[in-house]
Structure 1
Amino acid sequence: MSEHEHVLDWLQSWYSAQCDGDWEHGWGVRIETLDNPGWTVTIDLAETSLAHREFRRKQVARGEHDWVHAWTDERSFHLACGPGNLTEALMLFRAWASDSRG
């Protein structure tokens, strides 16, 4: 399996690691669909080791349905992407969250 195939497993582990009996009651991860079509993902960073890190806005546009946007603000990591780009978008979060140089 490629590392892309493991990104959802990694996200599940990251989420589980944040759950401390308190965090999960006010924060979390939301994955929703867009009507253009596409996906939107919001990953709460509040009360995590990533809360004060910045991800400078990244925009990749290859076509009408082949695009990814990623950014941080208000202690959240945001992703928006085309209908076939969810794995690619989640990989951006994984790479950023795993970067110890943060």
Structure 2
Amino acid sequence: MKPTVQIEYCPKCGWMLRAAYMAQELLSTFTDDVNGILLKPSEVNGRYSISIGDKLIFDRKREGRFPEIKELKQLVRDIVNPDKSLGHSDKK
């Protein structure tokens, strides 16, 4: 079964559009590799985290920043389809 990527964001912080943008980028890149992207409003203020299944792959508070889209695509690729080429977004 294909995994679902979850983006949990703080609606009070106004991060829904950022979450939607990242979901769009991930869906266009991983159309055949994921079941879908779940946007989940958080009940915890300031939260912005991204997980695949039970695995947390990025947490804004832990990292002290938001992920760059190139970085996020690499993190997701490494889990859902490690052999997939990301073209210009790939690691050097």
Normalised to the residue count of structure 2, the TM-score between the two structures is: 0.34
Q: Which has the higher helix share?
A: 2
Q: Which has the higher contact order (CA 8 A, sep 6+)?
A: 2
Normalised to the residue count of structure 1, the TM-score between the two structures is: 0.32
Q: Which has the higher strand share?
A: 1
